[in-house]
Structure 1
């Protein structure tokens, strides 16, 4: 029997659940998808991943330019993805500099990273920055997906308080800005993100139902999944089975993280933290990154941000033998031991990026993979944490942008080239072009060869 094409927005349903599906050959071309090389249809996604306090730049920057380069120590975990990577040197965020406002480099770094707008120095309610690149894209194309954008992190967003030399905590804990006065808070609870992606109801009500019946989300949609199998070809069946297996594995990890947290609560402060937030940092980061993979895979959003830690974070990393605070170490004053520990933290974060890219690369879609159809920016709004400089930023771009980026190179740009020039070029490749963004001076060139 020949079945009509599936809608790109087809879902598996059951008991308050609407589980989006990955891209399948059986799906008809859907709104907002462009035909790419090879005649296949795929959406372009973009994500911005932020790390605080700059980087140990000698361990970050490759010595060679062009396509014959070696990834140095900090970036070495990305070696399996070298051919899907651009290392971009020379980019700057001038608007993170003081410009007469004195201290507050950390707050300015995050507030302007995606906006290119110098934030108003205040610790009151009159915060003002700019519209971030992710929200520019979301406003233009967010109607194509259930979620216009997705904002994730592991540290809570704040909307008030004094966090950095007279700058509001809103600046140092929010990277996404819907308007100059409205930051978009990030979600840090992987359980709530999971329920948001797969619930056909409010997350609280769905969670309550599932616990009442003590069932996996896959149990709730099993009958619908069985019916779907009957109308799919062999390749699509395999893809759906792999996808459902990945969802079940994430559910298992969520339960384990929640159980560990319940067992390890020692301080009263822990009791007020949202359920589902893992105590282990790597577990937390990877669960959030897995949620982002699922959101892209099921085309629930094509635009996302992920903050590995709030700017100025003084988190310690005992599990990699760095008991000192990250921010304290970043003021290394040339001390070799402190620089070594900063490099260790940087490499640890890059290992999580490598995990994320690996997950994107292993998921086939159309004529390539999720990674082929994505643009992933990873970096910081500070260069060297000791200098608090905002030029020579640590920036990498991963993914092929649906064939519109030629990766596998280290490119160097003129000193103080605005980072926002990269963002303008990315918006073009999302088919959401704008004339300017923040302090942009034009499109970043050489991305396509």
Structure 2
């Protein structure tokens, strides 16, 4: 039996049981993997645009930034963070509500509008990655004041606004009715036992080195069984449903804090591989943060007032930056079920915006904050990295695709973009 036949058989077997990720260490040890660690998951953290003067680093030495007051919480995770700035959009005059930020296209060709989250989710499904929800979109008030979310599949896609509805969608049907957690555990064990039996039959067709690698992989499966047993007995394990929301808070920011926990739980339970959390719409976000003395509506009372100091917008941006850090902290705290580090080690997070310079309604100077774990997809530095580029911002979206193993970009973004490739310098070599 030839090596590529064995690989095709194992991939097919993994897809058939919905647990193809279990084969990854073994398959990658037989077939040469691409350079750099590819994440399992993509998380988009999406907000309205900001003011350039409050976002850009206070100073930059080489590529090492001194974070501004608005972005200062990111210093706590600077070793994971890459700030990307200066990127022009292909449709700089499209204003708030333009679909360009995540699609790479303006309004001129609505039938082609497909946001990067949907494009990647489709490619993962086509490649055999099966999860309960291919793309999870959460966020309160994503259409407030007649606004839109940045997610598109020809038409604009709304988010799940209610934490209670999101919980029911994610975890209410995760365990079938009249089925106990012990039943689910037994099912998982039976799948793993079946995988061991099927893979073991291949030993007669493998060389000594590959047999050794196969034995190592079988041992990793046994360790997963142990983790599942520990999860059942309350001794640990990655997958556990978050606390059921008591209700839907009237404060949209409080609702989104609940959405963050639900999103992390969905990753831990492998319910989805692509997810987004949306903070307000492209037109408005109602802010009530009494702890920091901030009340108002982001668009009208923070972005378009208070210039040039933008003191209230700085407060809000700083609060949002802390939520970005909180997501990293939550993902770091949960081990992967297969032992490959933490959830964060296998997740790429991208803070995306509808435009770069909102006070001037300018979609040039598009900005991203990217974060990945130790040895992850991004080229990082202990002091953080600041990358300024005049390449089209769509190339960062292509980097997100590349990170998730999607290297054919046909059908996404601007078909006339000449440099249809990831942004150079972002990926670790």
On whether the aligned pair clears a TM of 0.5, the verdict is yes
Instruction: Count the aligned residue pairs.
Output: 363
Q: Distance in 2 between matches of 1:42 and 1:432?
A: 10
* 2:40 maps to which of 40, 44, 65: 44
Question: Could you tell me how far apart the structure 1 residues matched to 2:121 and 2:325 are?
Answer: 26
**Secondary structure at 1:69 match in 2:** strand
- How far did residue 421 of structure 1 move? 0.3
Question: Could you tell me whether the CA contact under 8 Å between 2:82 and 2:387 is conserved in 1?
Answer: no
Conserved in 1, the CA contact under 8 Å of 2:82 and 2:386?
A: yes
| TM-score of the pair, normalised by structure 2 | 0.72
2:387 alignment counterpart: 412
Does the C-alpha gap of structure 1 residues 33 and 363 become closer, same or farther in structure 2, counting only changes over 3 Å?
farther
Which of residues 214, 217, 224 is equivalent to 2:183?
Answer: 224
Please name the residue that 2:198 is paired with. none
Cα RMSD over matched residues?
Answer: 3.8
Cα deviation for residue 384 of structure 1 reads: 2.9
Query: Residue 191 of structure 1 aligns with which residue?
Result: 164
TM-score where L is the length of structure 1: 0.69
The answer (yes or no) to whether the contact 2:150–2:354 under 8 Å persists in 1 is no
CA displacement 1:28-79 (0-9 Å, x = unmatched): 4269996799xxx986211221111424633443521556433222222222
SS of the aligned residue for 2:345 comes to coil
The answer (yes or no) to whether the contact 1:85–1:399 under 8 Å persists in 2 is yes
Whether the 8 Å CA contact 1:378–1:397 is kept in 2: the answer is yes
Is 1:75 equivalent to 2:71 in the alignment?
Answer: yes
TM-superposition CA deviations, 1:227-265 (whole Å, max 9, x none): 6899976655456637679846522xx12xx2xxxxxxx
Kept after mapping to 1: 8 A contact 2:399/2:423: yes
How far did 1:308 drift? 0.9
Give ranges in structure 1 of 5+ residues lacking alignment.
1-6, 12-19, 99-104, 122-126, 164-168, 211-219, 259-276
For 1:345, the equivalent position in structure 2 comes to: 316
Shift of 1:221: 2.8
Pairing of 1:31-430 with structure 2 (within 5 A): 44-55=40-51, 57-66=53-62, 68-98=64-94, 105-108=95-98, 111-120=99-108, 130-142=113-125, 143-146=128-131, 147-157=133-143, 169=146, 172-178=147-153, 181-200=154-173, 221-224=180-183, 237-238=229-230, 241=234, 247=240, 249-251=242-244, 254-255=245-246, 258=247, 277-319=248-290, 320-328=292-300, 329-332=302-305, 334-336=307-309, 339-365=310-336, 366-400=339-373, 403-408=376-381, 409-415=384-390, 417-430=391-404
Cα distance in 2 for residues equivalent to 1:239 and 1:154: 32
d(CA) in 2 for partners of 1:407, 1:9: 33
| Structure 1 residue 445 corresponds to structure 2 residue 404 | no
Question: Quick one: distance in 1 between partners of 2:170 and 2:80?
Answer: 28
Deviation at 1:349, TM superposition (A): 1.2
Distance 1:312 1:341 in 2: 17
Shift of residue 92, structure 1, vs aligned partner: 2.7
Aligned to 2:366, the other structure's residue is in SS state: coil
For the 8 Å contact 2:84–2:387, the answer to whether it is kept is yes
Structure with higher helix content: 2
Q: Secondary structure at the match of 1:155?
A: coil
Query: Structure 2 CA distance, aligned partners of 1:398 and 1:34?
Result: 24
Contact 1:374 1:402 in 2 (8 A): no
Contiguous gaps of at least 5 residues in structure 2:
1-12, 190-221
Say if 1:344 and 1:118 are closer, same or farther in 2 by CA, change over 3 A: same
Change (3 A) 1:352 1:281: farther
Structure 2 distance, partners of 1:34, 1:290, is 32
